Amino acid sequence: MGEEVRKDQLGHRKRLRTRFLKDLGRAMEDYELLELILTQAIPRGDVKPLAKRLIASFKSYAGVLSATPEELQKVEGIGEAAVVAIKLSQQSALRLLKQEAFKGHILNNWQNLMDYLQAAMGREKVEQLRILYLNQKNHLIADEVQNIGTVNHTPLYPREIVKRALDLSAVAIIIVHNHPSGDPAPSQEDIQITNMVKDAGNNLGIILHDHIIIGHNSYLSFKTQGLL
């Protein structure tokens, strides 16, 4: 009986791979894609229940990929190998989005930039401050997470940002931070500190192009909203 079960499981995995290769997974359910990821780390057994349990625990496929290793390992059946497979999938997607976002002139590639920032920061549990440093052609010099804060605050120091821009010979910057609450509306402090960075940069010839706040499925641009 055990051998028959094993053969059936191997057959199921092969059928999943065959279906995936037909259209690279576009017609597959989220749990099936996750199932395929898990088969790379768990060589034996039926991983479909585990895939469905993960999606139920983290609410979505994106939620699973964005979960921390510690959160993932709290789910029964998830060990180190499965965590690596899941986070590798996330990192591969982020690198693809990043390469598309920073291909050439950033301001002419806005939607790709928003897609990358949303994927990189939209599901973080605490606030992050990210600075994009640009050259004269508005090409990326550096994409740096400068500070990690709490669920509703991250420190932003105008002098440090401007100093780093000078160190990199950047002539323009874009500030990005996320709101773990999901609401990208700026606080009064967000507005005040943005103006401080703008003024500090202007004194040294460094342009602040925008300050973007990332929510769960949306974003806010200070430039578009007339706040900059």
- In this prediction, residue 8 has a pLDDT band, given cuts at 50, 70 and 90, of low
Q: Determine the pLDDT at residue 82.
A: 96
Model pLDDT for residues 59-97, shown as the tens digit of each residue: 999 999 999 999 999 999 999 999 999 999 999 999 999
What strands, in cross-sheet order, belong to the sheet with 219-221? 140-148, 128-134, 172-178, 207-214, 219-221
- In this prediction, residue 156 has a pLDDT band, given cuts at 50, 70 and 90, of confident
Q: Determine the pLDDT at residue 215.
A: 92
Query: Does the pLDDT at position 207 exceed 80?
Result: yes
Q: Determine the pLDDT at residue 2.
A: 57
Query: Does the pLDDT at position 7 exceed 90?
Result: no
- In this prediction, residue 4 has a pLDDT band, given cuts at 50, 70 and 90, of low
Q: Determine the pLDDT at residue 154.
A: 79
CA distances 159 to 134, 165, 198, 199, 200, Å, are 17, 10, 11, 11, 7
- In this prediction, residue 1 has a pLDDT band, given cuts at 50, 70 and 90, of very low
**DSSP secondary structure string for all residues of 106-160:** GGG-HHHHHHHHHHHHTT-SS-EEEEEEE-TTS-EEEEEEEEE--SS-----HHH
Give the mean model confidence (pLDDT) for residues 124-147.
93
- The amino acid at residue 41 is A
What end-to-end distance do the CA atoms of the chain give, in Å? 69
Model pLDDT for residues 17-73, shown as the tens digit of each residue: 999 899 988 999 999 999 999 999 998 888 999 999 999 999 999 999 999 999 999
Query: Does the pLDDT at position 210 exceed 90?
Result: yes
Q: Determine the pLDDT at residue 5.
A: 52
Q: Determine the pLDDT at residue 149.
A: 79
Average pLDDT along the chain: 91
Please give the residue that has the higher pLDDT: either 8 or 143. 143
CB atoms under 10 Å from CB of 91, counted, come to: 11
Global pTM reads 0.83
Q: Determine the pLDDT at residue 6.
A: 63
